[in-house]
Structure 1
Amino acid sequence: MPTQIAVDADPVLAGRVRDALGLPATATLAVLEGGRSGLTYVIGESTDRCVVKAVPQGRRAVGRNDVLHQATILAALAGTGVPVPRVRARDDEQPAWFAMDFARGEAAEPILLVDPEVEPALARSRMLDAARVLGALHAVPLSVVAGMPAVDAAAEVERWSATMSAVPDELRPGGAALVEALLAAVPAPVPPVIVHGDFRLGNLLFDGAEPVALVDWEIWGVGDPRVDLGWFGVFTDGRLFSGSGRVVAGLPTRAELLHAYQEARGDDGGTSADIAWFDALGRMKMAAIMGHNLVRHRTGARHDPVQEQLPPAIAALIADGRRLLAEAAR
């Protein structure tokens, strides 16, 4: 979990949270560094802490600020076998918020230089367990989120191609061609499932080798299960992150991850078909996000010199996505 920063937080919100959780007036609501959706706080004693996510004052509860969207899926998944934090309280009154258990553990991407190194054998074990967690998630019946419309693969391309298009051409060499190739070969649909939207080791807390909690549900929805699989696959190959990643020996192969996933899901679900296309989609999405972050840094919207390491990775992700589609076409 992110690091707690002991600073004063919104006293009105703090009072609402304390009342709902039955906490004493001495309980402090402190900012939790690293939360990027809405506002993220921690409250309670060290032995029984809660994470609180709230809509920023004066903001609309949409997109990443729609914290109750996250609370809904966490509550829906309780008791399904998918490891998620327990929702302790929610308040729909604006600005809305919810509180969940503070999950202890480590979330790290073995292949990324910005994260701590993970011993290769442990990294392999965690990736296989993560694939099983994803299989368990995709096995959850859609009835737990009845009424949520499904998003198909073509809509996923359109969504992220808009992000790609906002990045200057020189920062995304071949990006337009990759988007065009994806749209020209959209696979046939398979039955939709609950998708996490950002499924990777960096969003799965582990206690040693044991998965403890799948977090960061800001963009969950209902859609093609292969979207999650393709995104997860991006974070298994350090060669894609030239300048910002590392190669970790012994990580599971794509076939091993798919086997662990399908074993946990209980059936194939059609996910073995056209997986290369979804791997290419994942690479396009990652390149678009990196390009967007680099532009934000260079325009002063968010100062982060680390973003200057990204151009080689953006180029590598796009090139590999095009390679995957070309090989699949042959």
Structure 2
Amino acid sequence: MPELTERDPEELSATLTQWLSATLGEGANPTIIDLEAPASSGFSNETIMVTARWNEHGSLEEHRLVFRVHPTKHTLFLEADFSLQYRVMHALQGQPSVPIPTLRWYEQGSETLGVPFFVMDHVEGQIPADNLPYTMEGWLLEASPENQAELWWSGIETLAAIHQLDWDALGLAGLANDSFGKPGLDRNMNYYRAFLDWTSHGRPQPIAEAAWEWLVANKPVENGEPVLSWGDSRIGNMIWDHFRPVAVLDWEMASVGPPEMDLGWWLYFDRQFSEGLGVPRPPGFPTHEETIARYEELMGRTMQDLFWYQIFAGFRFAVIMCRLSDLLVGSELLPADSDMGSNNLATQFIAQLLGLPSPAEQA
């Protein structure tokens, strides 16, 4: 939910120019020549895109920067930790198999924008759209099947590379220590159960609750050591150049857990944006069976209970959608009597996958 429209652009430009001047030091003399908030920048942070020039190494250089700003009016996630994504991305800087935008600065104080923010370099490339989804229109759907397959496989290889990192050695041991239980599946289930209780405010959530009961009744046994979990692992959170990832974005949901958790999220959203919407997958995308086999080869371990992990992905998405509906109502982008909190893409598709009555029928 970009909030740039609620800031005076000239005042914001002057504020950021002053901050850049203090940060860059004497003689930089920065100027901002363009400033915007992308409409697709999401709800968990405010995003401000800046083009600036400053003196560097004896010449005037132009830089495209991305300011990720702590939300000033809303928090999408339960107990959201704005610094988490910065800490994870900082730890991953320089990993050749996991491309991360170059991070520049983290501003903890509130003197400049009223809230913390961090700054990273803009990465050129293309991002598959969510609205309308890439399965319905856009550059990926228009690409050749060969290029679609190249994108899919290179994304899967990047996901496996994330899971092969030593998160403890990278200084991310803090991901395994919080109040929601031991690291792994238990912690993630406990977190999203608490998240649902927090965001539902006692309102009926028949599909989410039915999915939770199914998840608890069919909970798998974890095998192998937990890995660094990206959390929001999907092709729409990568920047692509020539059908290969050049940046992995959006680490707000990062945790430690079984690799099936990320792979299940990846497969779930592929299904959500195709069969969940009644449209075919891009013709070049490999089958899920081929994907799982390749992932097992990359990881050197068997991926188990992936249908369960897809339902868990749908449950988590349903919880997020419940919270998102409140934010949209609070922003007067949805009417107060909207049923989006319980009747949305996630709950509709979960009902389809589990053979439940549709959320509209249960309203």
Question: Could you tell me the TM-score, scaled by structure 1's length?
Answer: 0.78
1:157 aligned partner, one-letter code: M
**Worse-matched range after superposition: 80-89 or 253-262:** 253-262
For residue 13 of structure 1, report the CA deviation from its aligned partner. 4.7
For the 8 Å contact 2:125–2:241, the answer to whether it is kept is yes
1:211 paired to 2:211: no
Q: How does 1:181-260 map to 2 (within 5 A)?
A: 181-189=214-222, 190-237=224-271, 238-242=273-277, 246-250=279-283, 251-260=285-294
Which residue matches 1:178?
211
2:280 aligned partner, one-letter code: V
For residue 214 of structure 1, report the CA deviation from its aligned partner. 0.6
**Worse-matched range after superposition: 39-48 or 152-161:** 39-48
SS at match of 1:235: helix
- Displaced runs of 4+ in structure 1, greater than 6 A? 57-60, 62-65, 168-171, 305-310
Instruction: Give me the whole-angstrom Cα distance separating, in 2, the residues matched to 1:65 and 1:13.
Output: 25
Instruction: Give me the whole-angstrom Cα distance separating, in 1, the residues matched to 2:109 and 2:16.
Output: 11
Which residue matches 2:170?
144
For the 8 Å contact 2:237–2:248, the answer to whether it is kept is yes
Which residue matches 1:285?
316
Instruction: Give me the whole-angstrom Cα distance separating, in 1, the residues matched to 2:100 and 2:355.
Output: 36
Which residue matches 1:89?
105
For residue 125 of structure 1, report the CA deviation from its aligned partner. 2.8
Which residue matches 1:41?
48
Instruction: Give me the whole-angstrom Cα distance separating, in 1, the residues matched to 2:163 and 2:94.
Output: 15
1:113 paired to 2:132: yes
Higher relative contact order (CA 8 A, sep 6+): 1
Instruction: Give me the whole-angstrom Cα distance separating, in 1, the residues matched to 2:339 and 2:210.
Output: 24
Q: Kindly tell me: are residues 84 and 260 of structure 1, through their superposed partners in 2, closer, same or farther at Cα, counting changes over 3 Å?
A: farther
Unpaired runs of 5+ residues, structure 2, are 54-60, 177-182, 357-363
SS at match of 1:99: strand
Instruction: Give me the whole-angstrom Cα distance separating, in 1, the residues matched to 2:350 and 2:195.
Output: 14
SS at match of 1:241: coil
1:70 paired to 2:85: yes
Question: Could you tell me the TM-score, scaled by structure 2's length?
Answer: 0.72
1:17 paired to 2:33: no
For residue 49 of structure 1, report the CA deviation from its aligned partner. 1.1
Q: Kindly tell me: are residues 68 and 232 of structure 1, through their superposed partners in 2, closer, same or farther at Cα, counting changes over 3 Å?
A: same
For residue 77 of structure 1, report the CA deviation from its aligned partner. 0.8
1:7 aligned partner, one-letter code: P
For residue 262 of structure 1, report the CA deviation from its aligned partner. 3.8
For the 8 Å contact 2:234–2:265, the answer to whether it is kept is yes
Instruction: Give me the whole-angstrom Cα distance separating, in 2, the residues matched to 1:58 and 1:108.
Output: 28
Q: How does 1:292-311 map to 2 (within 5 A)?
A: 292-297=323-328, 299-304=329-334, 311=343
Which residue matches 1:273?
304
For the 8 Å contact 1:178–1:321, the answer to whether it is kept is no
SS at match of 1:236: helix
1:70 aligned partner, one-letter code: Q
For the 8 Å contact 1:134–1:261, the answer to whether it is kept is no
Q: How many residues align?
A: 314
Deviation string 1:234-253 (CA, Å, 9 cap, x unpaired) is: 121234433xx632243222
**Worse-matched range after superposition: 188-197 or 288-297:** 288-297
Q: Kindly tell me: are residues 219 and 170 of structure 1, through their superposed partners in 2, closer, same or farther at Cα, counting changes over 3 Å?
A: closer
Which residue matches 1:328?
none
